Structure 1
Amino acid sequence: MTTDNALPWTDATALDEVPDDDVTSVQLDGRDIALYKVEGTVFATDNTCTHGHARLCDGFLEGHEIECPLHQGKFDVRDGTPTCAPVTEALRCYPVRIEGGRVFLQLPG
């Protein structure tokens, strides 16, 4: 995932609102976004499974994999890659920046 220097950074939430080794969600600019903190690093993806349209924040995070609560498909939260059937389409990921105890995301226009 690369950052686009032309896109602004959007304040998503306080860093301490993203639980360690777990997932939460935020609503930003009409998007439902899942935030994950794994080993101290925050990742951001769309919050909707590409297979079953379930909210990933209701799923189970183990290491860098989020499991969809509907059909148990899995994605790597670092790059959105599907890692387990039945999912085949990757999740959209968003660049993350931490600054002043806040989580910022770059969202496409």
Structure 2
Amino acid sequence: MSLERACALSELEQDTAKRVEVGGKPIAVVLDAEGVVHAIGDTCTHGDISLSDGFVEGETLECWAHGSAFSLRTGKPLNLPAYEPVPVYVVEISGDDVLIDPDATVAV
């Protein structure tokens, strides 16, 4: 596993997505209401739109352009028009650092 620093935990706002790039991959990092940090692919599979510009609600991140919501835990779209999942990345917290492995996705 090759963890890379994505951002500081203190940079994250609850229920808001932050776009980062790790290993050349755009990733949306979300601190949910329960204090869990999630990392999913930042590009909507329906329209090539940045998901980090969307809306966090519970355990979902909704694309602002067409309304597809993606599970922060599985990456699966929960409604149309998207039907392909986005990747979900392995996240570890070390002190104030959010570490992400851009080559390791979570199996669901």
Where structure 1 has 5 or more consecutive residues not aligned to the other structure, the ranges are 1-6
CA drift of 1:22 comes to 1.3
The size of the alignment, in residue pairs, is: 103
Q: Given the two structures, how large is their TM-score scaled by the length of structure 2?
A: 0.90
SS in 1 for 2:103: coil
What's 2:83 paired with? 88
Q: CA separation in 1, counterparts of 2:95 and 2:53?
A: 28
What's 2:28 paired with? 34
CA drift of 1:69 comes to 1.2
Q: Given the two structures, how large is their TM-score scaled by the length of structure 1?
A: 0.89
Code of the residue aligned with 2:26 in structure 1: it is D
After TM superposition, the runs of 4+ consecutive aligned structure 1 residues lying more than 4 A away are none
Code of the residue aligned with 2:69 in structure 1: it is K
Say if 2:6 is the partner of 1:12.
yes
Identity of aligned residues (%): 37
What's 1:63 paired with? 58
What's 1:25 paired with? 19
Code of the residue aligned with 1:41 in structure 2: it is V
RMSD of Structure 2 on Structure 1 (CA)? 1.2
SS in 2 for 1:53: coil
SS in 1 for 2:10: helix
Q: CA separation in 1, counterparts of 2:52 and 2:103?
A: 21
Code of the residue aligned with 1:67 in structure 2: it is E
